[in-house]
Amino acid sequence: MINLATAHLLTDYKTWANQRLFDSLQALPAGETTRERKTVFKNMIGTLNHIYVVDRIWQAHLEGREHGFTTSHDLVHADLGELRQAQQEVDGWYRTWSAQQTEDSLNRSIDFKFVSGDGGTMNAGAILMHVINHNNYHRGWVVQMYFEIPQMPPMTDLPVYLREVDPGFKPISAPAVEEAPTCDGQSASATSVPPDRCR
């Protein structure tokens, strides 16, 4: 299902992507992270709390204990700074957990219960991949909210991470586009992004 090298890569990437997102969120105009929007979790901070709570739920499953949550929609940390600290802690836990695994332990079966009460069984590696995908999916929800401000969101794609940390990564520059908006700036235009840029 997943090997050790991939597990290490994914947990390092998760940490990097969340840090980059929180760096960007802290630079937004006051009130934007808590401004109510048309989304399931009400706003940016609510969506980020959902990511955090689900991280904690699956951490508990991996540790073989009860997680104590009855819903994945809890607003555990309403303050962005407190939530960032909490997210850093759980991201650190996943990195440490990943470093302690073996090929065999990644394949061990784990029984769990969803907050709905339904149960299931997955191996540890599949659980990790679900956690990473869940983070990516809901970071995308937050990114979409940037365009309502409008502000350019940070780039948190895996190739961007590899470009920054992997000496073996070989980037190929795209042809120059005159006056194309950048994806790196926090204040570039978010209302006229060409479909072939930034992704």
Distance CA 49, CA 183 (A): 25
- How many domains is the chain partitioned into structurally? 1
DSSP assignment of the chain: ---HHHHHHHHHHHHHHHHHHHHHHHTSPTTTTTS--SSTTSSHHHHHHHHHHHHHHHHHHHHTS----S-S------SHHHHHHHHHHHHHHHHHHHHT--HHHHT-EEEEE-TTS-EEEEEHHHHHHHHHHHHHHHHHHHHHHHTTTT-PPPP--HHHHHHHH-TT----PPPP-TTPPPSS-SSS-SS---TTS--
Residue-level pLDDT at 188: 47
Residue-level pLDDT at 125: 98
Percent of the chain with pLDDT over 90: 81
Cβ–Cβ under 8 Å, residues 43 and 36? yes
What is the residue range of 44's domain? 4-165
Residue-level pLDDT at 178: 65
Q: For residue 60, tell me if it sits in a domain.
A: yes
Please state, rounded to an integer, the average pLDDT across all residues of the chain: 91
pLDDT digits (tens, 9 = 90+) for 89-137: 999 999 999 999 999 999 999 999 999 889 999 999 999 999 999 999 9
Distance CA 55, CA 58 (A): 5
Distance CA 25, CA 153 (A): 9
Q: For residue 189, tell me if it sits in a domain.
A: no
Q: For residue 146, tell me if it sits in a domain.
A: yes
Distances (CA, A) of 64 to 59, 115, 169: 9, 15, 38
pLDDT digits (tens, 9 = 90+) for 95-106: 999 999 999 999
Residue 1 has pLDDT above 90, yes or no: no
Q: In the structure, what pLDDT confidence band is assigned to residue 187 with cuts at 50, 70 and 90?
A: very low
Q: For residue 176, tell me if it sits in a domain.
A: no
Cis peptide before 150 (omega within 30 of 0): yes
pLDDT digits (tens, 9 = 90+) for 24-53: 999 999 999 999 999 999 999 999 999 999
Q: For residue 88, tell me if it sits in a domain.
A: yes
Q: For residue 13, tell me if it sits in a domain.
A: yes
Q: What is the CATH number of the domain that holds 26?
A: 1.20.120.450
Q: For residue 188, tell me if it sits in a domain.
A: no
More confident residue, 187 or 100: 100
Distances (CA, A) of 79 to 72, 75, 86, 122: 18, 10, 11, 34
Q: For residue 178, tell me if it sits in a domain.
A: no
Residue 191 has pLDDT above 60, yes or no: no
